[in-house]
Each structure stands twice: as structure tokens, then as C-alpha cells.
């Protein structure tokens, strides 16, 4: 092999200059030049996943936990297609992610000649699933294409960007571009609110007495401004993806107990005279397909002009960065805003009632969020898969203290939690990672457990094992006349699986022992597996809308 500088070397050096220290993926025939260069430079830790889907989710989890660009490198055709679920999820979550893939040799591309991994319109597939997608068509344009892709990924609204580099171009010898010396990540440039928009927002808030914030993932950096508004007399709630912007044990935030299946919260909204929605899509998934009754008066802040009125209407839209706008709003209101003096006490009483009412719907699992919270370090990263335990107490009652600790499949795809957790465990900072999955989701990507073992991670995986698809059973009960079909998924014995992987194993078969056993697994360090035997503890009750709304808790 030539010792000259190649496009593969350019890729490796570019990533390092973009402050990338960890990347994920699968080595294959159409990416060897890039990965060989990464290995020779030894500046980036490459984590070999067992499949491209797992690698893409790992890069996503890493980016969310680290607050920086995630990178996944895949092969071409089937390999790139295997990464699609991870790209789709990263787009749902707004994760800045760079996906590098190969392509058949330039002279064969798009000709359908049947070369290895040759897929029809791979670039079209990537354009459909990424925020943007590019092909390098000549070695001389590689640096420009990579720079544009990274800028796209990191520019709000953030998301995944894909780049195809044909295998012959990866191998091509080139002069090292002098411009590499000046490569830097595009600096974040928060878009401030227009003066007239801010004036209108301030005037509207000044006329309110019982205001609330609804914050989404687009407001994840707005914690300082949000906290100041809470101190001025606002209350707050978040989307599931926006959790932890303000620590959820703050008395004036509901966290993500935002009304879906919580009638006390929905009833309280009737007395709120303004809700400011910042950085949130008010997704149909979380608002019962937009039937959740929010306060009638709403203002909206979003960096994306397409968000204006996309789901719920508003009377005022501010196209700006959420953090900059909430900071400016707090500055303007300081010393002059006069909330209803009874609002805070009424909100806190409602919060206690709503949490108690929701907890009462959990049956034998009512104590799980409190037990697990006591067992986990406060700064631990809380990763969940789509499972009934997350859709209930994991999303709505378990308190989260920071946005980077809140990682789950925003797109509601099952089987992503383990890989998201592996990526999070590789983020700088050495925080403990706890993953909660159902048995169905865990078995979907169980092979990635060996990635965690190989990388020697500090990761505890809790598998809520009800021997099948518990959520699907409840949906079938509600809409298919109770005919439960195709819901049983047989998997390996989890204790035997842990023994095979050489990791610690713990089993929970009593609800009151959950916290102590999970705590022992967390404290043990390394990769540990906790099986919660739901057949021994009892079936998890169905949740709204597949069960009646919980009755409001009795007022004291």
C-alpha cells in the first residue's frame, strides 16, 4: 500500500480536527481506507459495533450524553441501510450526527451493474432519512463536502448528515489540503429574538398572572433562563425529550407529567392564562394526537420557522433560539412581573396530587421510580427503551436532573435502548449509565451486549421481563377484543446469557427488593444485568389511552 496521503487520511484528520474522539460502526470492504487511516493516526477511539444499526444508535447516545457531534461509519448498500433506523431516530431527536459510508467505485455508481453492495439510489435513501446527504464525486471536493455535512448536522434544528465516499476516491492519493489546518467546528450562533417580537412577548407575559412554560428538546440549553422565570412566578412542564432542563425535583416543574394520562394536570391548564412553548413540537405522540387540552392562550418560541402553528395554534410566534429568548424575557420581567400570589401554592398542591394519582395506576410497580432513584447516582445517565415501564413511570415519575441524563427513543422505536446506553457510557465524564429495557426490546439487539463487554463499560442493564410484548397485549385488549396474538417472544434465559457474556447477574422477584438489588448491580461496576421477573411480581397495569384515565386524587 502506498505511504502517500490519501482521501482516507483526510477523513481521519478532518474528524480529529472536529474534536471527534470516539466513533462507532462496522469495518467493511467499502470503508477500509477511512478506518485504516483512523487506526494509523490513533487519535480517535473506534468502537466496533455488532451491526450498523447498533453503531448508529451508539453514536446518537454518545452525542446526546456528551453534547457533541456523534460519528458512525458504515459500509455501503446493506450496511448503509442497516444504519437507517439509527438515522431516523437521530432525526427524531435532533441529534447532531455525521454518518460516513462508502459507495461502489465511481465508474460503476448508479449504473446497476451488480457490483458488491451496489444498492439502487443509496443517496436517495439517505436523503430520505437524514437531514441532508451528499456524495463526494471527486477527491478535490472531499474537504468541502465534509465541512458542509458537519455544519448541517450542528446547525439548529440539528440532525444527522450522511456522506458517501466511493471506494476508489477513499484510496486516491492527494496532496494534503492546507485548509485542514484551519478546520474548526462551526461555532453556535444563537439567533436572538427580534426586538419587536420580544416586545410583544414581554407585553403578553406582563398581562398574565398564571403563566407556564412547556419546554422541549430544542430548549435543552435554556435552563438558566427557565429557572429565572420560575423564580419570578412561572410554572413549568416539559416534553419527554425536554426533560431535565431544570432539575425535576424543583417545586415549580412537573417534569414530563404534562397531562397525557394525568387529569389533574389537564384540569389545571384551564386556569393557566398563558403557556409559552419553547423548542417543542407538541408532538401528537405526547398529546393524544393533539387532543390534550392545553391552555387556550399560547405563545411559541422556536428556531425553526416551520414550527409556527405546525401542531397547536398560537397567538404569538418568536423565531429565535429558546435559551436567548428566555434569558431576554427574564431580564425584561425582573422586578416588574406580578404573578397571582396563590399560583405557586396551587401548582405545588396539584403536582403532589397528580403524582400520587399517576403512581396509583402502577399497581405493584408504584414504588419503582423512588427505589431506583435512591439507588442511582444523581448524575447518572438514565437510558430507556420503549417498554411499558418507561411509557409510564420511566418517563413521568422518575426525576431527572439534567438534559444529558435523559436518553430514550424519541421516535418510539423498540430495541434501541441498549445501543443508546453503550454510546452514552463512552461519553466523557465517566458517569454511570443505567439502561431500562423490556425483554422484547432487549432481545432485538442483544448482540450489542458483547460490544459493551469488549469496551469494558460501566453499564447496568435492567430488563423488565414479562415474557412478551406487554404494551401490545394491552393494545390488543383495548382494540382487538382481547385477542392476544403474536405477542409472545421467547428469548434465552437471562442468567445463562449473563454467564455466557461473563457479566454480573441479579434477579428481582419482589417489588420491595427492586431498589436494593438494582443498587447492588449499579455499585458493582462494569457491565451488569438485572432481570425484573414481572411474572413473579405481577402484570403491569395498562396505561392511558389503553386504560381509563386515573381518577383525580382526593384533595386534602
| Within-domain flag for 1 | no
| Within-domain flag for 113 | yes
Residues 367 and 352 in one domain: no
Residues 439 and 521 in one domain: yes
| Within-domain flag for 68 | yes
| Within-domain flag for 189 | no
Asked if residue 437 has pLDDT above 70, the reply is yes
| Within-domain flag for 550 | no
Domain CATH code at residue 291: 3.40.50.1220
Per the structure, how many domains does the chain have?
A: 3
Domain CATH code at residue 382: 3.40.50.970
Residues 135 and 162 in one domain: yes
As a whole number, mean pLDDT of residues 419-448 equals 97
Q: What is the SS3 string spanning 504-552?
A: EEEEECCHHHHHHHHHHHHHHCCEEEEEEEHHHHCCCCCCCCCCCCCCC
How does residue 551 score in pLDDT terms, banded at 50, 70 and 90? low
Tens of pLDDT, residue by residue over 456-495, are 999 999 999 999 998 889 889 888 999 999 999 889 999 9
Tens of pLDDT, residue by residue over 491-548, are 999 999 999 999 999 999 999 999 999 999 999 999 999 999 999 999 999 988 887 6
Which pLDDT belongs to residue 545? 84
Residues 146 and 38 in one domain: yes
Residues 69 and 141 in one domain: yes
| Within-domain flag for 553 | no
Residue 97's closest CA among 84, 79, 81? 84
Residues 57 and 168 in one domain: yes
d(CA 95, CA 158): 6
| Domain closes at, from 321, 356, 391 | 356
Which pLDDT belongs to residue 111? 78
Residues 174 and 218 in one domain: no
Residues 347 and 485 in one domain: no
| Within-domain flag for 11 | yes
Residues 520 and 389 in one domain: yes
Residues 235 and 329 in one domain: yes
| Within-domain flag for 548 | no
Which pLDDT belongs to residue 1? 41
Residues 69 and 170 in one domain: yes
Residue range(s) defining the domain that contains residue 401: 362-537
d(CA 415, CA 403): 22
% of the chain at pLDDT higher than 90: 89
Residues 138 and 209 in one domain: no
d(CA 59, CA 513): 34
Amino acid at each position: 500500500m502506498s505511504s502517500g496521503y490519501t482521501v482516507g487520511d483526510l477523513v481521519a484528520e478532518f474528524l480529529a480536527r472536529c474534536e471527534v474522539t470516539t466513533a462507532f460502526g462496522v469495518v467493511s470492504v467499502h470503508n477500509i481506507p477511512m478506518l485504516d487511516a483512523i487506526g494509523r493516526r490513533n487519535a480517535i477511539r473506534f468502537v466496533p459495533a455488532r451491526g450498523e444499526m447498533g453503531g448508529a444508535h451508539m453514536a446518537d447516545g454518545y452525542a446526546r450524553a456528551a453534547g457533541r457531534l456523534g460519528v458512525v461509519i458504515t459500509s455501503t448498500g446493506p450496511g448503509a441501510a442497516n444504519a437507517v433506523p439509527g438515522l431516523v431516530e437521530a432525526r427524531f431527536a435532533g441529534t447532531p450526527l455525521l454518518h460516513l459510508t462508502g459507495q461502489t467505485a465511481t465508474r460503476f455508481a448508479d449504473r446497476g451493474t451488480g457490483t458488491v453492495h451496489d444498492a439502487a439510489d443509496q443517496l436517495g435513501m439517505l436523503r430520505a432519512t437524514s437531514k441532508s446527504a451528499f456524495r463526494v464525486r471527486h477527491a478535490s471536493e472531499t474537504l468541502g463536502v465534509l465541512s458542509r455535512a458537519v455544519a448541517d448536522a450542528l446547525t439548529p434544528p440539528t440532525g444527522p448528515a450522511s456522506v458517501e465516499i466511493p471506494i476508489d476516491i477513499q484510496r486516491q492519493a492527494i496532496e494534503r489540503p492546507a485548509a485542514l489546518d484551519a478546520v474548526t467546528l462551526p461555532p453556535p450562533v444563537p439567533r436572538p429574538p427580534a426586538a419587536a417580537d420580544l416586545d410583544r412577548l414581554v407585553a403578553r407575559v406582563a398581562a398574565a398572572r398564571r403563566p407556564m412554560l412547556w419546554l422541549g428538546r430544542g430548549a435543552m440549553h435554556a435552563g438558566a433562563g427557565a429557572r429565572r422565570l420560575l423564580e419570578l412566578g412561572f410554572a413549568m412542564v416539559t416534553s419527554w425529550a425536554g426533560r431535565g432542563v431544570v432539575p425535576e425535583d424543583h417545586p415549580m416543574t412537573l417534569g414530563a407529567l404534562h397531562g397525557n394520562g394525568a387529569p389533574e394536570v389537564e384540569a389545571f391548564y384551564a386556569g393557566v392564562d398563558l403557556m409559552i412553548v419553547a423548542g417543542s413540537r407538541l408532538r401528537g405522540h405526547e398529546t393524544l394526537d393533539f387532543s390534550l387540552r392545553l391552555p387556550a392562550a399560547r405563545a411559541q418560541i422556536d428556531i425553526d420557522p416551520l414550527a409556527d402553528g405546525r401542531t397547536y395554534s398560537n397567538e404569538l410566534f418568536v423565531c429565535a433560539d429558546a435559551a436567548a429568548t428566555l434569558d431576554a424575557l427574564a431580564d425584561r420581567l425582573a422586578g416588574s412581573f406580578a404573578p397571582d400570589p396563590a399560583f405557586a401554592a396551587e401548582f405545588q398542591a396539584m403536582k403532589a396530587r397528580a403524582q400520587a394519582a399517576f403512581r396509583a395506576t402502577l399497581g405493584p410497580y408504584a414504588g419503582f421510580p423512588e427505589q431506583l432513584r435512591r439507588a442511582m447516582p444523581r448524575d447518572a445517565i438514565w437510558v430507556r427503551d420503549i417498554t411499558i415501564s418507561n411509557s409510564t413511570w420511566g418517563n413521568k415519575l422518575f426525576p431527572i436532573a439534567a438534559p444529558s441524563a435523559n436518553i430514550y427513543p424519541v421516535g418510539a422505536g423498540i430495541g434501541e435502548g441498549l445501543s443508546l446506553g453503550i454510546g452514552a457510557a463512552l461519553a466523557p465524564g465517566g458517569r454511570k449509565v443505567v439502561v431500562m429495557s423490556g425483554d422484547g426490546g432487549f432481545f432485538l439487539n442483544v448482540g450489542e451486549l458483547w460490544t459493551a463487554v469488549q469496551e469494558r463499560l460501566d453499564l447496568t442493564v435492567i430488563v423488565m421481563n414479562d415474557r412478551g410484548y406487554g404494551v401490545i397485549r394491552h393494545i390488543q385488549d383495548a382494540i382487538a377484543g382481547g385477542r392476544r396474538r403474536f405477542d409472545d417472544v421467547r428469548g434465552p434465559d437471562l442468567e445463562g446469557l449473563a454467564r455466557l457474556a461473563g457479566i454480573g447477574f441479579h434477579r428481582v422477584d419482589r417489588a420491595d427488593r427492586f431498589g436494593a438489588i438494582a443498587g447492588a448491580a449499579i455499585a458493582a461496576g462494569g457491565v451488569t444485568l438485572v432481570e425484573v421477573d414481572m411474572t413473579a411480581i405481577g402484570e403491569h397495569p395498562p396505561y392511558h389511552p389503553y386504560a381509563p384515565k386515573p381518577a383525580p386524587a382526593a384533595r386534602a
